[in-house]
Amino acid sequence: MKTGRKITGGKYHARRKKRLHEKDSQTRIVKLGKEKKKLIRGRGGKIKTILISAEFANVLDKKSCKSKKAKIKNVLETPSNRFLARQNILVKSAIIETELGKARITNRPSQEASVECILIE
């Protein structure tokens, strides 16, 4: 049977609507472009700074154990969804092309206000 249905084929009906704190927030997409940030109020009044678009990334070189700020040129590959790479959307584990070389994003740019990545050889 299809999900959300009884064995007889009848529908299950929700007993109540979702509360405000149970509702999903709008999906945040971080694109490649001039840097833009936004403040969002969270539960309990917490203020979260999120990225809307990013131009630079903090690139960590494992050999020298030093971090440098580098300009992002292009999104090459996204293992989670190949269509995100075509639209230059920055997500965790995406492989990007920077001035220093290829790098993999290690953080979630939609949750934090920066792009952190590690150089790959």
Per-residue pLDDT of the chain (121 residues; tens, 9 = 90+): 467 788 898 988 889 999 988 888 888 999 999 999 999 988 899 999 999 999 999 999 999 899 999 999 999 999 999 999 999 999 999 999 999 999 999 999 999 999 999 999 7
Give the pTM. Answer: 0.81
Going by C-alpha positions, the residue among 120, 121, 113 that lies closest to residue 56 is 113
Q: In whole angstroms, give the CA distance from residue 51 to residue 25.
A: 15
Domains and CATH numbers, the chain: 27-119 (3.10.290.70)
- Phi first, then psi, for residue 112 (nearest 5°) are -120, 170
105 by DSSP, 3-state: which? strand
